[in-house]
């Protein structure tokens, strides 16, 4: 289906395949390596020592710890990455209904709330008006 992909389990226990950029796959591989150093041998990034799933809260703590280890001046939090992903995907021209499917929203209206206006979008809008 996709070259770089991640299969996730949704809150309703369904599997969903999401395309990922190579850089994102690298981050996931780093998380798995960190888990292996902790003695967790699973390829799941939300696994415990006995290969069960961790709570969503603990998973978020793990992701936030990883983000703290790689960030520069600005604070990065995991939920902010969802907003960033939606915004950048929409700005790149990915249809909002596709982005909505990728992030698991039940409808596009939720995804629209995640889509923040970027300076590049404002600049494009101004250019369109200038040329009108």
Q: Which of 3-12, 30-39, 46-55 is most confident?
A: 30-39
113-131 mean pLDDT: 79
Q: Which of 7-21, 81-95, 116-130 is most confident?
A: 81-95
- CA distance linking residue 127 with residue 132, whole number of Å: 9
H-helix or E-strand containing 17?
A: strand 15-19
What pLDDT was estimated at residue 53?
64
Confidence of residue 34 (pLDDT cuts 50, 70, 90): confident
Q: Is the pLDDT of residue 119 over 80?
A: no
Q: Is the pLDDT of residue 61 over 70?
A: yes
CA angle 3, 88, 103 (to 5 degrees): 60
Nearest to 102 by CA among 116, 118, 88: 88
Q: Is the pLDDT of residue 66 over 60?
A: yes
What pLDDT was estimated at residue 27?
79
Long-range contacts of 26-34 (CB under 8 A, 24+ apart): 27/66, 30/66, 31/62, 31/63, 31/66, 34/66
Confidence of residue 87 (pLDDT cuts 50, 70, 90): confident
Count of beta carbons in the 10 Å neighbourhood of residue 82 = 15
* Contact present, 5 and 20 (Cβ < 8 Å): yes
Q: Look at 75 and 97; give whichever has higher pLDDT.
A: 97
Confidence of residue 32 (pLDDT cuts 50, 70, 90): confident
Q: Look at 129 and 13; give whichever has higher pLDDT.
A: 129
Q: What size, in residues, is the chain?
A: 132
């Amino acid at each position: 289906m996709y070259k770089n992909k991640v299969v996730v389990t949704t809150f309703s226990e369904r599997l969903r395949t999401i395309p990922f950029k190579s850089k994102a796959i690298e981050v996931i591989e780093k998380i798995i390596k960190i888990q292996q150093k902790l003695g967790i041998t699973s390829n799941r990034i939300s696994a415990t020592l006995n290969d069960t799933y961790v709570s969503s809260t603990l998973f978020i703590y793990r992701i936030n710890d990883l983000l703290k280890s790689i960030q520069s001046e600005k604070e990065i939090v995991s939920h902010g990455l969802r907003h960033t992903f939606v915004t950048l995907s929409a700005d790149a021209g990915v249809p909002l209904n596709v982005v909505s499917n990728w992030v698991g929203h039940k409808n596009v209206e939720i995804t629209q709330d995640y889509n923040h206006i970027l300076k590049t979008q404002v600049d494009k809008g101004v250019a369109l008006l200038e040329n009108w």
